[in-house]
Structure 1
Amino acid sequence: MSNTAVIHLLSPLLANQIAAGEVVERPASVAKELLENALDAGANRIDIEAEEGGVKLLRIRDNGRGIAHQQLPLALERHATSKIVELADLEGVSTLGFRGEALASISSVSRLCLTSRTADAEQAWQVEAQGRQMEPLVQPAAHPQGTTVQVSDLFYNTPARRKFLRTERTEFDHLQEVVKRMALARFDVAFHLRHNNRSIYALHSATDEQSKARRIAQLLGDEFMEQALPIDIERNGLRLWGWVGLPTFSRSQADMQYFYVNGRTVRDKLVGHAVRQAYRDVLYGGRFPAFVLYLELDPNKVDVNVHPTKHEVRFRDGRSVHDFLYSALNRTLAEVRPGDAVSAPASSQMLAPSAVTGVMAGEFAGQNELGLRDSPTEQSNISARSFGYDSRSTVNFSAPQSQAYQAFTAPLMGENTVAETEIPPLGYAIAQLKGIYILAENQLGLVLVDMHAAHERVMYERLKTAMAQEGLRGQPLLVPQTLSLSAREIDCAEQNAQWFNQLGFELQTLGEESIAIRQIPALLKQAHAADLVQAVLADLMEYGSSDRVQAHINELLATMSCHGAVRANRQLSIAEMNALLRDMEITERSGQCNHGRPTWTQLNMTELDALFLRGR
C-alpha cells in the first residue's frame, strides 16, 4: 500500500493553507477579513494602505479595542475567536466575523505582522508569523490603542496560487470594491484608502442624512444620488431602508447593487429574485437596477453560517422576507410621479408671467382625456379607430378582455381640473412634434413626452387595475392534462392549493407522482398549462413565491395596451395632449412605458441656455 493511502493528520501549516484556499483568493479577500475584524473591534476609523494591488503590501490600521498581549499568539491559531463561545451564540451572531480562521489562513500564505494595544496596556505588542515558520514571535512595539495588521508578499510560498492573480490594476479594483462595500455598510466609520502612496478615498464618518448622501455620492457618483429614491419601510419585525435607483438609471451589468443584511454584505438568490420582480414592469430589457439597500431583522431569524466567505445567508422564513422586499420595492417604484422629479424649480428659472397667461387662466381646465374614454359600442369587438391608432387595423378581444378595456376607458372618478394658481408638474402642452412628441412648458422649462409610450403606460396600469378588481377567472379544460411530478413537487402543489385556486387553476392529485390540471386562467388559455404549472412549482420551492402567472397575464395586458395606445402621426388637439399629461401625473410608473423606456424628459432653462451659450 502506498503512503498516500495511509490516513494521517494534516500538519497545521497544510491545514491552514487548505483553509486559505477557501478564504484567501486574492488581496481583496485579505482586506475583507481584516476590515471585518476591525469593525468587530469597535473601530470608528480605519486606514488601508496597499502596494502593487495589495500583493506586495496590505496594511490595515484601526483604533478599536485592540488585543491583549498574552492573546496575540492565540489570535493566529485556527478556530480561535472572541466572538462566539457556544452554539447559541452562532445562531444569533451579530458580528461580521466568527469562524476564527482568517488570521491563521492569511499568515500561512504570507508574511504577517500584527501590532496591537488595548486601552489599559502600558505599551503595544507585536506578533509575527510567516508561511512555513508558523511559530509566532512576540515582542514589544510602539502603537496607539487599536490594531495594525500588515500582510506582505501574498502567496510567496505558494507559487501556483500566485499565478492565478491578475494585473496590479485588476487586483486593486477588487480591493477597492471591498473597501467601498464596507464604507457603504458603516457610515459611522471613517475610511482612508491609499494605493502606491496615492490617496484614493478619504471618507469621514457620516452621522446625518446629508453626510450619508454625500458619502454615497463619493462612492457611487452624483448621478446615482440624483436618480435614487430614498426608502424606509418597517413591517412585522423587518425593516428595509436605503436608496433605489430609478428605472431610467439602469446599468448594463449588475455592478451597482449593494445589499446588506444586518450590516453584512450579501449576494443572495432570494433577494435578487425579489428585486427583479419589483423592477420587472419598469426596467428596459437586459438592463440591471442600481440600489443600496439595508435589511434589518432579528439575528436569530437569519443563518449567516452557510458559506466560508459569509457572502450568502439563509433566512428562517424566506417567503415572508421575499414578499416584504418585493412589496416594499414595488410600492416605492410605483409611487413615483412626474411631480416628484420636478417638484423643486430653480428660483432663477421661473417662467415669466407672460409665458403662462393663457394656461394660468384655466384655459384647459376640465378637458376631455384624449377623447378616448367613450365606452366601446361592442364589448366583443373594439375598433382601432376608437382607441386612436391606425384605422386600417382592428383588434378582436374576448369578453373578459373587453370588460377590462371597458373599465379603463370609462372616465375616472372626479374632474381633472387644475388650480389656476399653480402649474402642474408636466406643465401644459404647446405643440406636437412630427406626430410623435408632445412639447409642454412647465415651471422648469421644456418637457418632451413620447405620446405613444406615455399613453401605453396609462392604459396598461388601468388594465391591471381592472383585472385586479375582476380577479382571474378560470376556464375548465375539455381534456384535463396529466403532469408527472416528484413527491416534493406534489407536496408543494398541495400546500399551495388555495393560492393556485386564486390564480384560476384547479389541480387534482392523482397519485404520489402525478397531478391533473383541470382548469387554467381564462386569459392564459393559449399557454402550455403543464410547462407553466411546473415552472411555478419550481419558483415556489426555490423562492417561496412565484410571479410567473401574473407575468404572463401582464404580458398579454401590455400587448393589449400597446395596440390600444395612440399611434405615431395621430394629430392630437391641445386639449387631448393636456389630458394625457394630467393622466401621466396620476398614473403609477408613468415615467416608463411597458418596455422600460422613458416616457418623458425635462430640459430646464439652464440646459436650454447652455445650448445657445446664453449668459457666457
Structure 2
Amino acid sequence: MTNIRRLDDATVDRIAAGEVVERPASVVKELVENSVDAGAGRIDVTVAAGGTERIEVRDDGSGMSPDDLELAVTEHATSKIRDIDDLEGGVASLGFRGEALHAIGAVSKLTVRSREPGASKGAQLRVEGGNVVRQETVGCPEGTTVVVEDLFYNVPARRKYLKSEATEFSHVNSVVSGYALANADIAVSLTHGDRETFATEGRGDRRSAIMAVYGRDVAANMVPVDGTDEPGPLADVGGMVSHPETNRATREYVNVFVNGRWVTATAVRDAVVEAYDRQLAGDRYPFAVIDLDVDPATVDVNVHPRKLEVRFADEDGMTRQVRGAVESALLDAGLLRTSAPRGRSKAAQTEISPGERDGRDTPESDTTATRSVDADTTGSESEGRESSPSDSVASEPASSSATDDAETPAWHAEPTDDSTESREPARRRFREPATQTTVDGSDPAPEFDRLPSMHVLGQLHDTYVVAETDDGLVLVDQHAADERVNFERLRERFAGEVVTQTLAEPVDLSLTAKEAALADPASEVLAQLGFTTTLTGERTLRVSTVPAPLADVSGPELVRSLIDDFADGDPERTVERAVDDLLGDLACYPSIKGNTSLTEGTVTDLLAALDDCENPYACPHGRPVVIEVGREEIENRFERDYPGHS
C-alpha cells in the first residue's frame, strides 16, 4: 500500500481556484482584464454585498462563439498565448493563464452570456462548483456578460475569512478604479447595490477619468508626467502625479500600470514617493497614475498567481527612470525645490569614508553600548522636524531669561539662536553642569516613583538631558519625554464620554469615490471620537462637530485621515486604538523639539511630569524616552580593570 495518492479533480480545482481567487476583488480583476483584452469600449461592473453575493461584469467587446464559450470555462484554455515561446517572449495581453473562468466557476455559481459581432444570437453557460449544468442559445447584446453568485458557497472555510462588506467593496473599488484610470479611452462604471460609485466617460482624457474616480479637487491638482531622459529598460514613463499638498495617509492611491496591467509594484511606488524628496511627510503619499511602457521580454508578469506583482530585469534602472520622470514633472510645474537654504549656494556633497564622523577619528569598534530602561512599547517614529544630534554642536548654557507663560507648560522654552553654536569647538560635547537649587538654596535630589533618582548635569546637543544616578549615567530625550506627557494628558481628557464642540460653520470635505463609500461604515467610530459627519452628496462629507480637546489643534480635515484607516482595510479597529493613534500624533506637535535650550527649573519640571506618567519609558510611537549607561559599562570603557589598578 502506498501513502501517496492522486487528488480527485474537484479537490484539485478548488486548490487551483484558491491561488487565483482570494476574494471578490480577485474575481473582478480577472473579468475586467478579460473585457479590456476583448477590446471593449464600455465596461460596467455591479456588485452586491461587497461582491460576496453577486458580481456582474458587462462589456461590449468582441464576444465569443458558442464553441469558444464552451472551451473558455475549461482548465488552461486561453486565446492569449499558444505555447511556451509566447510566455518566455513576454505576454502583451492582460490575461494569459487560462485559469480565470475555470477557477471562478469552481468556487461559485457562474453564468456567462456572450455574442460575437454580426451573430444573430448568443450563447449562455451555467457553471456550478466547476461543472457545466446548462448550455443554451439566448438573445443578448454583442459582447460578454459574466455573473458570479454565491462566491465560495462550496468552500465555507474560505468564505468565513472574508472581511466586512465595506472592506471587500473597498478592494473591488481599488481594482475597478485602477483599470478605469489605466484605460481612459474605455467608459468604466462601478455600482454597489443600487448606487453608482463612479463612471468615467471613456473619451481618452486622463484628467477626466481622475475626476470621476477621485473627485474635482484631486483632478485639478494633478501634474502630467511626460517621459524620462534617464537611460534604462523603460521605453516610456507617462501618467499624472499630484501636487505635494494633495496627499493621503495611504499609498494605495499610487497606481502603477505596466504595459496596461494594474500591479502593486512596490519598487515603482517607492520611486514615485522618493521623487517628492522632502515635500511630503514620512507618512503621507501622493495621488499618482504611472504608466510604464516596457519590452514584455524584460518584465516577468508570471510571478504571482493573481498577476498582482511583476519583476523587472533591471529594477535599478527602472527606479532611476521613474524617479527622474516624476521629479522632472514636479520641477517643471514649480512644485519641487532643492533642499539648499535660501540665499546660499547648495553645499557640495561631502564624502564620509568609514571610520570618520564629524571630522573626528572614530574606530569602528569605538561604540558605546546603551540600553533602554524597560520600554514596554516598541515601534518607530518619524520626526522630520528634529535635527540629528550630530548636526549641531553644544554651546554654553543660555542665560535663564525664559519666563513661564500661563498658557504654556513650564518646561516649554524657545529655541536658541544657533549662530553661536556653529562657532563652538567641536570637541565640546557637554554643556557646563547646571547648578540647580530649590527655594531654600539646597541642592535638589528629586525622588521619583518610576524614574530613578538622578542629579541633572546639563544637556547634550540641546536635545538630551544628561543626569547622574547611583548606577551610572542617564540620558533623557526631551522631545520624547514631553511627547509622552502630552499624550497621557490628552488621553485622560478623552477618557469616558468625549465632549464635543459644535462648529460655527459646518465644514464640507470633498471625498474620493472610495472614501465616500467608506464614510457610512466609518461614521460610528467617528461619532465615538466626537466627530459628527453626514454625507450631503455623492462625494461631500459635512463635519458639524469635533472633539472639544482637539478643537484648537486639529480641524475637520482629520476626519479624512481617519477614513483612510478604513480604506487600508481595517474597519474593525477598536475605538481605543484609533484614539491612541490620533492622540499620539497630536501629542507630537506641541512637544519640545530637539536643539532647544532648557533652563534648570524647566528640566526639573519636565522630569517630574514624566515621572507622573503611566509609562515614562517610551513615547506614544514606541521610541525610548530614557536610556542608561551603567557604571560597570563606563568602567569597562575606561578599562579601569587593567592589572595593578586598585
> Under a length normalisation based on structure 2, what TM-score does the superposition of the two structures give?
0.53
Match of 1:66 in 2: 63
Deviations 1:472-502 (A, max 9, x none): 456xxxxxxxxxxxxxxxxxxxxxxxxxxxx
| Equivalence map 1:424-435=2 (5 Å) | none
Match of 1:376 in 2: none
What is the Cα deviation at residue 13 of structure 1?
A: 2.1
- The answer to whether residue 32 in structure 2 is matched with residue 38 in structure 1 is no
Conserved in 2, the CA contact under 8 Å of 1:42 and 1:65? yes
- Structure 2 spans left out of the alignment, 5+ residues: 367-383, 396-413, 418-646
Q: Which runs of at least 4 in structure 1 moved beyond 4 Å after TM superposition?
A: 460-463, 519-531, 554-561, 567-570
What is the Cα deviation at residue 462 of structure 1?
A: 4.7
What is the Cα deviation at residue 460 of structure 1?
A: 7.1
Amino acid in the other structure paired with 2:220: E
Match of 1:292 in 2: 289
**Alpha-carbon distance in 1 for matches of 2:287, 2:304:** 25
- Structure 1 spans left out of the alignment, 5+ residues: 341-453, 475-504, 506-518, 532-551, 571-616
Amino acid in the other structure paired with 2:224: P
Match of 2:222 in 1: 228
Structure ranking higher in helix proportion: 1
| Equivalence map 1:2-401=2 (5 Å) | 5-8=3-6, 10-90=7-87, 91-131=89-129, 134-207=131-204, 211-235=205-229, 236=231, 237-337=234-334
**Alpha-carbon distance in 2 for matches of 1:100, 1:238:** 29
- The answer to whether residue 463 in structure 2 is matched with residue 466 in structure 1 is no
Conserved in 2, the CA contact under 8 Å of 1:110 and 1:156? yes
What is the Cα deviation at residue 176 of structure 1?
A: 1.8
Q: Which moved more, 1:141-150 or 1:215-224?
A: 215-224
Conserved in 2, the CA contact under 8 Å of 1:274 and 1:325? yes
Give the direction of change, closer, same or farther, for the CA distance of 1:263–1:568 in structure 2 (3 Å limit): same
RMSD (Å), alpha carbons? 3.4
**Alpha-carbon distance in 1 for matches of 2:157, 2:390:** 55
Give the direction of change, closer, same or farther, for the CA distance of 1:461–1:154 in structure 2 (3 Å limit): farther
Give the direction of change, closer, same or farther, for the CA distance of 1:43–1:195 in structure 2 (3 Å limit): same
> Under a length normalisation based on structure 1, what TM-score does the superposition of the two structures give?
0.56
Amino acid in the other structure paired with 2:170: D
What is the Cα deviation at residue 80 of structure 1?
A: 0.7
Amino acid in the other structure paired with 2:341: M
Match of 1:371 in 2: none
Amino acid in the other structure paired with 2:101: L
Give the direction of change, closer, same or farther, for the CA distance of 1:188–1:529 in structure 2 (3 Å limit): farther
State the identity as a percent.
37
Deviations 1:482-539 (A, max 9, x none): xxxxxxxxxxxxxxxxxxxxxxx5xxxxxxxxxxxxx5677686889799xxxxxxxx
Conserved in 2, the CA contact under 8 Å of 1:116 and 1:148? yes
Amino acid in the other structure paired with 1:226: A
What is the Cα deviation at residue 122 of structure 1?
A: 2.7
Amino acid in the other structure paired with 1:229: V
What is the Cα deviation at residue 99 of structure 1?
A: 0.5
**Alpha-carbon distance in 1 for matches of 2:96, 2:305:** 11
Match of 2:599 in 1: none
**Alpha-carbon distance in 1 for matches of 2:307, 2:33:** 11
Conserved in 1, the CA contact under 8 Å of 2:256 and 2:269? no
Deviations 1:180-231 (A, max 9, x none): 1110111011112222222222221122xxx421220221122222333221
Give the direction of change, closer, same or farther, for the CA distance of 1:525–1:99 in structure 2 (3 Å limit): farther
SS in 2 for 1:255: helix
SS in 2 for 1:93: coil
Match of 2:448 in 1: none
Paired residues in the alignment total 377
What is the Cα deviation at residue 272 of structure 1?
A: 3.1
